[in-house]
Structure 1
Amino acid sequence: MKQSTQGSAGPGTPQRRTGGGRVPAQARVADVLDAVRERGAALPAARGEHTHGERPVPGPRSAVQRSSVRGQILDALRTALVTGELKPGEVHSAPVLGERFGVSATPVREAMQQLALEGAVEVVPNRGFRVVERGARELAELAEVRALIEVPVMLRLARTVPGERWAELRPLAEETVRAAADGCPATYAECDRAFHRALLALSGNDQLVGVAADLHRRSQWPPVRHGRAYLVADAAEHMALLDALIAGDVDVVRGLVTGHFAGVG
């Protein structure tokens, strides 16, 4: 439950499995980049360029495909932030990153602009985007804002949501335990966000869930604590919190959620 170091998360299952085994984070990132390259190669046709006798692709499909490429680039960049591959203070240009991903500069630039909105990078005129250097004070401020939002909501839900509803979230908590054992910060960050998102979703307030998720993502970089022991302890708090919620023990819930945010930073 602590603010651990992720990438990217996107909606859905927080990690992919093959043949019942876990896929290493490096392989997952490589899969994303392979998919980006494949789509990048198809982009000219999607923009309406076609050979003689070939029907042009309709505009709406082009927009969807371009959005998909941008989304994959955004996921890859978020993962690189969480793992520390993109280091604070570094400046990256869209054309150079585009060559690295095998796509044009446009989807990279659009993904970087989204990261700028999220506070992860800042625009450097005529050069590209600089990864923001975030200090302990800013991380502590993020923790404080998260506490103001999440603590009262969790205490209210602990009093009103029946235990069987909380029990449905156990697979997500167990997923954080497995991710912590693997020791990959990017995978753990995805699972951590998925667990928190599911907890807050029981409030029925989509705006609250969205704001909390954005703050949570911002708090996961730069990576400051990557140790396996830290991740394992963090995941254990998830299990303890869920057990307290299922049991309806509001006092234990209060101690866990307030203690977590007080100890961050």
Structure 2
Amino acid sequence: MDSMGHLKQRNLVTARERLRDQVANALRAALISGELRPGEVYSAPGLAADFGISATPVREAMLDMAREGLVEPVRNKGFRVTEVNERDLDQYTEIRLLIEVPTVRGLVGTAAREELEALRPVAVEIVEAARAHDLIGYLEADRRFHLTLLGLAGNERLVETVGDLRKRSRLYGLTGLDERGELLPSAEEHLELLDLMLAGDADGSEACMTRHLGKIRSLWAAEATVPDQRHA
């Protein structure tokens, strides 16, 4: 094959991978927002029809999600959305507390002021998304804030680990939290955390981060006790 043929083939592969990633992100968002329900089985052709694309990138995206533990293959049927139980949520939160709280404390006084200030527009975006009931926008901004903040510590594996934990927990119950007006106070804690870090308050920053993650877990627990009217 000539060099032009190699180029065309590489461009085709890149475009296909990009489509697969776009589909995977859209499916993760649907899963987080509750459009894809835990325990339900979804077929690649059925989801592909919703997207208006072929089934191949959807199937590839679902296999990527299966490797992350978000879904599991069901022979001759499709993929079942993994159910997250209370024990899972407790363990994910415990690991995030062990990682994120000391990391945030360590960044106080070591992270450059301009690096922290660069996160303020993202923190504002989180609050605005919560106020507008834009759950997908909230999740994307929340993810960028937390992972970018942790990235200031310079440990890429740490960021990957927390990113994976976030995917697995999926911020369970987000729709219910928004409906009960409990999402905005959690969103505003991102601005509080930034202000504490910029003030050089290590103890305050540690306490804020601990409270923030603990609140998310308590909200999950509250969500688990609310009857699901959609199946009533």
User: What is the aligned-residue identity percentage?
Assistant: 44
Structure with greater helix share of residues: 2
Q: TM-score, normalised by structure 1?
A: 0.74
Indicate the residue corresponding to 1:249 in structure 2.
Answer: 201
Write the mapping of 1:203-242 to structure 2, written as runs, cut at 5 A: 203-224=153-174, 225-227=176-178, 229-242=181-194
Write the mapping of 1:157-236 to structure 2, written as runs, cut at 5 A: 157-224=107-174, 225-227=176-178, 229-236=181-188
Shift of 1:146: 0.9
| Number of equivalenced pairs | 211
Higher RCO, 1 or 2 (CA under 8 Å, sep at least 6)?
1
Q: Which amino acid aligns with 2:193?
A: L
Q: 1:162 to 1:99 in 2, by over 3 A?
A: closer
- Say whether the 8 Å CA contact 1:185–1:226 is kept in structure 2: no
Indicate the residue corresponding to 2:210 in structure 1.
Answer: 258
> Which residue among 98, 106, 124 is the counterpart of 2:48?
98
Measure the CA separation in 2 of the matches of 1:260 and 1:137: 19
- Say whether the 8 Å CA contact 1:88–1:222 is kept in structure 2: no
- Say whether the 8 Å CA contact 2:105–2:203 is kept in structure 1: no
Q: Which 10-residue stretch deviates more, 179-188 or 161-170?
A: 161-170
Moved over 6 A (4+): none
Measure the CA separation in 2 of the matches of 1:219 and 1:56: 41
Q: Which amino acid aligns with 2:177?
A: H
Measure the CA separation in 2 of the matches of 1:123 and 1:91: 9
Measure the CA separation in 2 of the matches of 1:96 and 1:121: 16
Indicate the residue corresponding to 1:142 in structure 2.
Answer: 92
Measure the CA separation in 2 of the matches of 1:162 and 1:111: 37
> Which residue among 75, 79, 83 is the counterpart of 2:29?
79
Indicate the residue corresponding to 1:107 in structure 2.
Answer: 57
Aligned residue for 1:227, secondary structure, equals: helix
Gaps spanning 5+ residues in structure 1: where?
Answer: 1-54
- Say whether the 8 Å CA contact 1:172–1:191 is kept in structure 2: yes
Shift of 1:164: 3.8
Gaps spanning 5+ residues in structure 2: where?
Answer: 219-232
Measure the CA separation in 1 of the matches of 2:25 and 2:92: 22
Measure the CA separation in 1 of the matches of 2:121 and 2:26: 26
- Say whether the 8 Å CA contact 1:164–1:246 is kept in structure 2: no
Indicate the residue corresponding to 2:10 in structure 1.
Answer: 60
Shift of 1:160: 2.0
